[in-house]
Chain A
Amino acid sequence: MTRSQTPTFKAGQVDGLLVEPLDQMTLIYQRRSGVTHIVAEPIPEILAVMGNDFLSAEDVATRLASSFDLDDSNATAIVLARLEELASLGLVERRNA
Chain B
Amino acid sequence: MSEPQSKPIICPVCGKKAKTGSAIDCARHMFGTGDKPHRKWVDEHVKEHGESFIDLLIEQATTPGNRSYVLLAECIEKAVKEAEGK
A binds B: no
Chain B positions near chain A (C-beta within 8 angstroms): none
